[in-house]
Structure 1
Amino acid sequence: MSSRVLAPLLTLLVLLAGAPAYAQPQGRPRVQPQVEPLPVGTDVDYQLGGNRAVPRHVGIVVRDRNAAPTGDRYDVCYVNGFQTQADERRFWHRHWGLVLKQDGKPVVDEAWGEWLLDLRTSAKREHLARIVGRWTQGCADDGFDAVELDNLDSFTRSHRLLTRQEAVAYARLLVRRAHDAGLAVGQKNLAGFDGTKVSYDFAVAEECGRYRECASYVRHYGRRVLAVEYRRRDFRWTCRHVGARLPVELRDLDLSPTGVRRWC
């Protein structure tokens, strides 16, 4: 090719290399990844304490965010969105300002030894949502279909330091980030609250039979409620009253990989 032709071509290439990439016009709605809804008419296996073989009749499996999904069932990723995990205190010491404190000491959920997260300001909620959002994105990257966000009701254990309004505002941020990652989102705890108002897609109802709360979840989510019981008499009651509509599982409280596991 002659230099007379080559020079204009080189100039054009330089100009194109420096040109800004095409930007989507402002005001056009963002395209959100497609979210696969929680299936109905199948059983659930709640495996937070460790992975185990999944029976053929089970179509939904819940595992911790640090565990691998099954890959051939509807996989739900457990994320503690409102409190710390007991084994992650070193991490939260690096984010000490985001842990709720009273008289300089962390406020603790005594039942599980978990610190409550501080949701009292918009800035803290945004910061926490970025951290938890990275975890939910990790769930999506690993191949999970949905995320269960635990402890929406942490404000009820906060010695009145947190409010329901703050918890709901924070939940809205977490749900949005999970949806942006292409995950369906499950409400965990706070029976009677209509989580669909902040775009939750389903509910995980621990011991709803024991506390006679199953109907309050069904009212908002229909058949998309996962019921887990830890006492045999509560399991029998739950099977009798909602087992025809909902997946109900009996587990041991430690959710161990060799522990109790029964279905209606």
Structure 2
Amino acid sequence: MRGRWTTAVLAGALVLTVAACSPAPEPVQPPPGVGLDYQLGGDYPLPEGAELVVRQWRDGEAEPDAYSVCYLNAFQTEAAEGHPDHASNWPPGTIWFEGEDPAWPGEHPVDISSNRQRRLAVEFLTARLEECVVRGFQAVELDNLDTWLRYPDAPFDRDDAVAYARLVVEEATSLGLAVAQKNTPELLDVARTEIGFGFAIVEECGEHDECQAFVDTYDGRVYAVEHTEEGLAAACAAIGDVAGVVLRDRELVTPDDPGYVHGTC
């Protein structure tokens, strides 16, 4: 339980006490099997049938009529200059600048190779998690969980990823947020038991034939985003009867953009 320090004068002495605050509510997991939309490019009205939505922590708002998930790039920096999560804004020593995401130039992995660095990174993320709560989100998605797999020369490994993810989940849970595993089937054996994830958001599980493993782990609380018609067909055939599946364009633009794509099973 979090609290705040207050002062009182008792018999001429200054006494510090902790005034208890109301504890955060227990996280509520999303309803299984519902339709979803993935709106990282900007908020817009939910398509018909969507009961779960993912939006950015920085400028997105929770949807009153849907289960709302707050997107946070917890394992990498953001590339855009001026973004609060740009590499220049993270605490010194928490970014591995030798690595750069080839798909997203300017994004660098968080260096989670020591307990001190992990805790500094979690401290940095806490303000973002608190902002998710203020904006009304019920859950958070932690992106780039798989960085240790994509940077073979990185100074961190699977154990470091598990330890860091567990710390972030503990902090989010203490604030009343449920936490989604993002991709990374390599961690399904510890995702719920050691880390504490409550559900999964997966991209291209149909494309890579990974959907069923997530459904088996999370009892249907899986929400799949595909970026090709082939991937959509595969995901729908594999898990469409028990899990949410949506087709979105790779840039995740809003409906007023000519590149906007949206489809469901």
Cα separation, partners in 2 of 1:125 and 1:238, compared to 1, 3 Å: same
2:182 matched residue in structure 1: 188
The offset of 1:158, in angstroms, is: 1.9
Q: Which moved more, 1:213-222 or 1:171-180?
A: 213-222
* Residue pair 2:33, 2:222 contacting (<8 A) in 1 also: no
Aligned to 1:174: 168
> What corresponds to 1:131 in structure 2?
124
Match for residue 103 of structure 2?
A: 111
Match among 45, 48, 54 for residue 53 of structure 1? 45
Structure 2 residues without counterparts, runs of 5 or longer: 1-7
User: Is contact 1:192–1:216 with CA below 8 Å preserved after alignment?
Assistant: no
Question: Does the Cα contact within 8 Å between 2:248 and 2:263 map onto a contact in 1?
Answer: yes
Cross-structure match for 1:93: 88
Preserved CA contact (<8 Å) 1:119 1:166? yes
Name the count of aligned residue pairs.
Answer: 244
Aligned mates of 2:52, 2:242 — CA distance in 1: 15
**Residue 260 of structure 1: aligned partner:** 261
Q: CA RMSD in A?
A: 2.3
Cα separation, 1, equivalents of 2:116 and 2:238 = 44
Partner of 2:230: 233
Of 118, 124, 137, which aligns to 1:144?
A: 137
Per-residue CA deviations over 1:224-260 (Å, capped at 9, x if unaligned) read 1110000001101211221000000000000101211
1:5 corresponds to: none
Q: Partner of 2:77 in structure 1?
A: 84
Task: Give the structure with higher Rg (CA).
Answer: 1
**8 Å Cα contact 1:192-1:217 kept in structure 2:** no
Residue of structure 1 equivalent to 2:34: 42
| Residue aligning to 2:113 | 120
For 1:59, what is the secondary structure of its paired residue? strand
Q: Measure the CA separation in 2 of the matches of 1:75 and 1:88.
A: 27
Verify the 8 A CA contact 2:78 2:87 in the aligned structure 1. Answer: no
Q: CA contact under 8 A between 1:69 and 1:144: conserved in structure 2?
A: yes
Which of the residues 248, 257, 261 maps onto 2:245?
Answer: 248
CA distance in 2, matches of 1:22, 1:46: 42
Cα 1:18–1:109 shift into 2, 3 Å = same
Q: Distance between the aligned counterparts of 1:236 and 1:217, measured in 2? A: 17
Percent of matched pairs sharing the same residue: 35
Higher mean Cα deviation, 122-131 or 217-226? 217-226
2: distance between equivalents of 1:222 and 1:39? 11
Normalization by structure 2: what TM-score?
0.85
Range that drifts further, 159-168 or 58-67: 159-168
- Contact kept in structure 1, 2:130 and 2:175, CA below 8 Å: yes
Q: Which amino acid aligns with 1:228?
A: V
Indicate the SS of the match to 1:98: coil
Q: Over residues 10-58 of structure 1, what are the superposed CA-to-partner deviations in whole Å (9 max), with x where a residue is unaligned? A: xx9864994443678xxxxx95531111112320011011111113421
Tell me how far 1:219 sits from its aligned partner. 2.1
> Could you tell me whether the CA contact under 8 Å between 1:140 and 1:181 is conserved in 2?
yes
Q: What is the rounded CA distance, in whole Å, between the counterparts of 1:192 and 1:225 in structure 2?
A: 16
Which residue among 14, 17, 20 is the counterpart of 1:21?
A: 17
